[in-house]
Amino acid sequence: MTQRIAEQNRDRDQKLAEIRRSLGTDSLVLIGLMGAGKSAVGRRLAASLNLPFTDADSEIEAAAGQTISEIFAEHGEAYFRTGERKVIARLLENGPQVLATGGGAYMDPETRAAVKANGISIWLKANLRVLMKRVGRRDNRPLLQVDDPETAMKKLMAQRNPVYAQADITVESREAPHEVMVSNIVDALSARLEPDGPAEPAGGSVKAQ
Protein backbone atom coordinates (compact mmCIF):
# COMPACT_ATOMS: atom_id res chain seq x y z
CA MET A 1 0.00 0.00 0.00
CA THR A 2 2.67 2.47 1.08
CA GLN A 3 4.65 1.42 -1.97
CA ARG A 4 1.69 2.21 -4.23
CA ILE A 5 1.33 5.67 -2.73
CA ALA A 6 5.04 6.27 -3.17
CA GLU A 7 4.74 5.22 -6.83
CA GLN A 8 1.75 7.51 -7.36
CA ASN A 9 3.64 10.41 -5.80
CA ARG A 10 6.63 9.71 -8.01
CA ASP A 11 4.39 9.55 -11.06
CA ARG A 12 2.80 12.88 -10.14
CA ASP A 13 6.14 14.56 -9.44
CA GLN A 14 7.36 13.38 -12.82
CA LYS A 15 4.28 14.78 -14.56
CA LEU A 16 4.69 18.12 -12.79
CA ALA A 17 8.37 18.33 -13.73
CA GLU A 18 7.59 17.51 -17.38
CA ILE A 19 4.85 20.11 -17.56
CA ARG A 20 7.08 22.74 -16.00
CA ARG A 21 9.91 21.92 -18.37
CA SER A 22 7.74 21.93 -21.47
CA LEU A 23 6.23 25.32 -20.64
CA GLY A 24 9.44 27.21 -21.25
CA THR A 25 8.38 30.83 -20.81
CA ASP A 26 4.70 30.19 -21.56
CA SER A 27 1.96 30.71 -19.00
CA LEU A 28 -0.89 28.46 -17.95
CA VAL A 29 -3.92 30.70 -18.35
CA LEU A 30 -7.14 29.91 -16.53
CA ILE A 31 -10.32 31.08 -18.20
CA GLY A 32 -14.02 30.62 -17.49
CA LEU A 33 -17.00 32.28 -15.88
CA MET A 34 -17.19 34.07 -12.56
CA GLY A 35 -17.31 31.44 -9.86
CA ALA A 36 -15.54 28.75 -11.89
CA GLY A 37 -12.68 28.71 -9.39
CA LYS A 38 -9.96 30.25 -11.56
CA SER A 39 -8.16 32.06 -8.74
CA ALA A 40 -8.55 29.42 -6.05
CA VAL A 41 -7.58 26.53 -8.32
CA GLY A 42 -4.91 28.60 -10.08
CA ARG A 43 -3.21 29.40 -6.82
CA ARG A 44 -2.98 25.71 -5.93
CA LEU A 45 -1.94 24.69 -9.43
CA ALA A 46 0.89 27.22 -9.27
CA ALA A 47 2.01 25.90 -5.88
CA SER A 48 2.04 22.32 -7.20
CA LEU A 49 4.11 23.33 -10.20
CA ASN A 50 6.30 25.60 -8.13
CA LEU A 51 5.43 28.50 -10.41
CA PRO A 52 4.37 32.05 -9.52
CA PHE A 53 0.65 32.74 -9.47
CA THR A 54 -0.79 35.95 -10.94
CA ASP A 55 -4.37 37.13 -10.67
CA ALA A 56 -5.20 39.47 -13.56
CA ASP A 57 -8.10 41.13 -11.71
CA SER A 58 -5.86 41.98 -8.74
CA GLU A 59 -3.25 43.39 -11.13
CA ILE A 60 -5.89 45.53 -12.85
CA GLU A 61 -7.02 46.82 -9.46
CA ALA A 62 -3.42 47.57 -8.45
CA ALA A 63 -2.72 49.37 -11.76
CA ALA A 64 -5.88 51.46 -11.45
CA GLY A 65 -5.69 52.03 -7.72
CA GLN A 66 -9.41 51.12 -7.63
CA THR A 67 -11.49 48.00 -7.13
CA ILE A 68 -13.17 46.47 -10.16
CA SER A 69 -16.55 47.62 -8.85
CA GLU A 70 -15.21 51.17 -8.62
CA ILE A 71 -13.75 51.03 -12.14
CA PHE A 72 -17.10 49.83 -13.56
CA ALA A 73 -19.06 52.42 -11.58
CA GLU A 74 -16.80 55.36 -12.39
CA HIS A 75 -15.63 54.62 -15.92
CA GLY A 76 -17.89 51.88 -17.30
CA GLU A 77 -17.26 48.42 -18.69
CA ALA A 78 -15.57 49.50 -21.95
CA TYR A 79 -12.88 51.33 -19.99
CA PHE A 80 -12.37 48.29 -17.77
CA ARG A 81 -12.00 46.04 -20.84
CA THR A 82 -9.33 48.28 -22.37
CA GLY A 83 -7.35 48.19 -19.13
CA GLU A 84 -7.88 44.45 -18.84
CA ARG A 85 -6.52 43.86 -22.35
CA LYS A 86 -3.40 45.93 -21.65
CA VAL A 87 -2.70 44.41 -18.26
CA ILE A 88 -3.07 40.84 -19.52
CA ALA A 89 -0.79 41.54 -22.51
CA ARG A 90 1.82 42.81 -20.06
CA LEU A 91 1.37 39.91 -17.64
CA LEU A 92 1.77 37.36 -20.42
CA GLU A 93 5.36 38.56 -20.83
CA ASN A 94 6.18 37.23 -17.37
CA GLY A 95 5.90 33.49 -17.95
CA PRO A 96 6.28 30.87 -16.85
CA GLN A 97 3.45 31.38 -14.37
CA VAL A 98 -0.13 30.43 -13.69
CA LEU A 99 -2.34 33.34 -14.68
CA ALA A 100 -5.99 33.55 -13.62
CA THR A 101 -8.01 35.90 -15.83
CA GLY A 102 -11.34 37.60 -15.17
CA GLY A 103 -14.35 35.92 -16.76
CA GLY A 104 -14.66 38.35 -19.66
CA ALA A 105 -11.00 38.56 -20.61
CA TYR A 106 -10.91 35.66 -23.06
CA MET A 107 -13.88 37.13 -24.96
CA ASP A 108 -11.57 39.80 -26.32
CA PRO A 109 -10.04 38.63 -29.64
CA GLU A 110 -6.71 40.37 -28.97
CA THR A 111 -6.43 38.77 -25.56
CA ARG A 112 -7.33 35.38 -27.03
CA ALA A 113 -4.56 35.77 -29.60
CA ALA A 114 -2.08 36.88 -26.94
CA VAL A 115 -2.99 33.88 -24.76
CA LYS A 116 -2.55 31.56 -27.72
CA ALA A 117 0.86 33.03 -28.51
CA ASN A 118 2.14 33.00 -24.94
CA GLY A 119 0.34 30.29 -23.07
CA ILE A 120 -1.84 27.26 -22.67
CA SER A 121 -5.47 28.12 -22.01
CA ILE A 122 -7.43 26.03 -19.52
CA TRP A 123 -11.20 26.44 -19.34
CA LEU A 124 -12.68 25.65 -15.95
CA LYS A 125 -16.16 24.68 -17.07
CA ALA A 126 -18.88 24.72 -14.44
CA ASN A 127 -22.65 24.37 -14.55
CA LEU A 128 -25.08 27.10 -13.54
CA ARG A 129 -25.76 25.65 -10.10
CA VAL A 130 -22.08 25.51 -9.15
CA LEU A 131 -21.40 29.00 -10.51
CA MET A 132 -24.36 30.58 -8.71
CA LYS A 133 -23.52 28.87 -5.46
CA ARG A 134 -19.99 30.25 -5.60
CA VAL A 135 -20.72 33.80 -6.74
CA GLY A 136 -23.61 34.10 -4.31
CA ARG A 137 -21.15 34.49 -1.51
CA ARG A 138 -19.82 37.88 -2.62
CA ASP A 139 -21.08 41.14 -4.10
CA ASN A 140 -17.90 42.25 -5.87
CA ARG A 141 -18.98 41.43 -9.43
CA PRO A 142 -20.65 44.34 -11.20
CA LEU A 143 -22.13 42.16 -13.98
CA LEU A 144 -24.12 40.26 -11.36
CA GLN A 145 -25.33 43.28 -9.41
CA VAL A 146 -28.71 43.06 -11.13
CA ASP A 147 -32.23 42.06 -10.05
CA ASP A 148 -31.89 38.57 -11.44
CA PRO A 149 -28.24 37.42 -11.33
CA GLU A 150 -29.16 33.89 -12.36
CA THR A 151 -30.65 35.06 -15.66
CA ALA A 152 -27.60 37.28 -16.18
CA MET A 153 -25.32 34.29 -15.59
CA LYS A 154 -27.35 32.13 -17.99
CA LYS A 155 -26.95 34.77 -20.69
CA LEU A 156 -23.21 34.95 -20.08
CA MET A 157 -22.98 31.16 -20.31
CA ALA A 158 -24.81 31.19 -23.65
CA GLN A 159 -22.58 33.95 -25.05
CA ARG A 160 -19.29 32.82 -23.65
CA ASN A 161 -19.22 29.04 -23.47
CA PRO A 162 -18.75 28.64 -27.25
CA VAL A 163 -15.73 30.99 -27.04
CA TYR A 164 -14.28 29.40 -23.91
CA ALA A 165 -14.54 26.13 -25.81
CA GLN A 166 -11.62 27.30 -27.96
CA ALA A 167 -9.34 26.76 -24.96
CA ASP A 168 -6.50 24.28 -25.33
CA ILE A 169 -7.81 22.27 -22.40
CA THR A 170 -11.24 22.00 -20.78
CA VAL A 171 -11.59 20.76 -17.23
CA GLU A 172 -14.93 20.26 -15.54
CA SER A 173 -15.19 22.46 -12.44
CA ARG A 174 -17.25 20.52 -9.93
CA GLU A 175 -17.96 20.78 -6.26
CA ALA A 176 -14.81 18.79 -5.66
CA PRO A 177 -11.92 19.90 -3.47
CA HIS A 178 -9.55 22.23 -5.28
CA GLU A 179 -6.81 19.63 -5.07
CA VAL A 180 -8.93 17.28 -7.19
CA MET A 181 -9.32 20.01 -9.78
CA VAL A 182 -5.56 20.53 -9.77
CA SER A 183 -5.00 16.82 -10.34
CA ASN A 184 -7.46 16.85 -13.23
CA ILE A 185 -5.62 19.79 -14.82
CA VAL A 186 -2.23 18.13 -14.30
CA ASP A 187 -3.54 14.93 -15.92
CA ALA A 188 -5.00 16.86 -18.86
CA LEU A 189 -1.77 18.79 -19.39
CA SER A 190 0.23 15.64 -19.10
CA ALA A 191 -1.98 13.82 -21.63
CA ARG A 192 -1.59 16.75 -24.01
CA LEU A 193 2.14 16.62 -23.57
CA GLU A 194 2.26 12.94 -24.28
CA PRO A 195 -0.84 12.10 -26.29
CA ASP A 196 0.45 8.63 -27.20
CA GLY A 197 1.63 7.60 -23.79
CA PRO A 198 4.89 8.12 -21.97
CA ALA A 199 7.11 7.63 -25.05
CA GLU A 200 7.18 11.29 -26.14
CA PRO A 201 10.76 12.38 -26.82
CA ALA A 202 12.37 14.79 -24.39
CA GLY A 203 11.75 18.42 -25.21
CA GLY A 204 8.11 17.88 -26.24
CA SER A 205 5.94 20.92 -25.73
CA VAL A 206 2.59 21.02 -23.99
CA LYS A 207 1.63 23.41 -26.74
CA ALA A 208 2.26 21.11 -29.66
CA GLN A 209 -0.88 19.48 -30.98
- Closest CB to ligand S3P: residue number: 102
Q: Are strands 53-55 and 97-100 parallel, antiparallel or unpaired?
A: parallel
**Range in contact with ligand S3P (rule: CB under 6 A) among 111-119, 135-143, 145-153, 178-186:** 135-143
157 binds ligand S3P (CB under 6 A): no
104 binds ligand S3P (CB under 6 A): yes
**Range in contact with ligand S3P (rule: CB under 6 A) among 21-29, 99-107, 115-123, 167-175:** 99-107
In this chain, which of 23, 34, 99, 114 binds ligand S3P, going by CB under 6 A? 34
Query: Where would I find the H helices in 76-171?
Result: 77-91, 109-118, 128-135, 149-164
Measured over the CA atoms of residue 179, residue 185, residue 190 and residue 196, the dihedral's sign is positive
**Cα–Cα distance between 55 and 179 in angstroms, integer?**
19
In this chain, which of 37, 83, 96, 103 binds ligand S3P, going by CB under 6 A? 103
Q: How many residues does the chain have?
A: 209
57 binds ligand S3P (CB under 6 A): yes
Residue with smaller CB distance to ligand S3P, 20 or 81: 81
153 binds ligand S3P (CB under 6 A): no
Q: Tell me how far CA of residue 164 lies from CA of 25, 109, 125, in angstroms.
A: 23, 12, 9
Task: Say if CB 123 and CB 165 are below 8 A apart.
Answer: yes
The contact set with ligand S3P (CB under 6 A) reads 34, 38, 57, 68, 102-104, 141-143
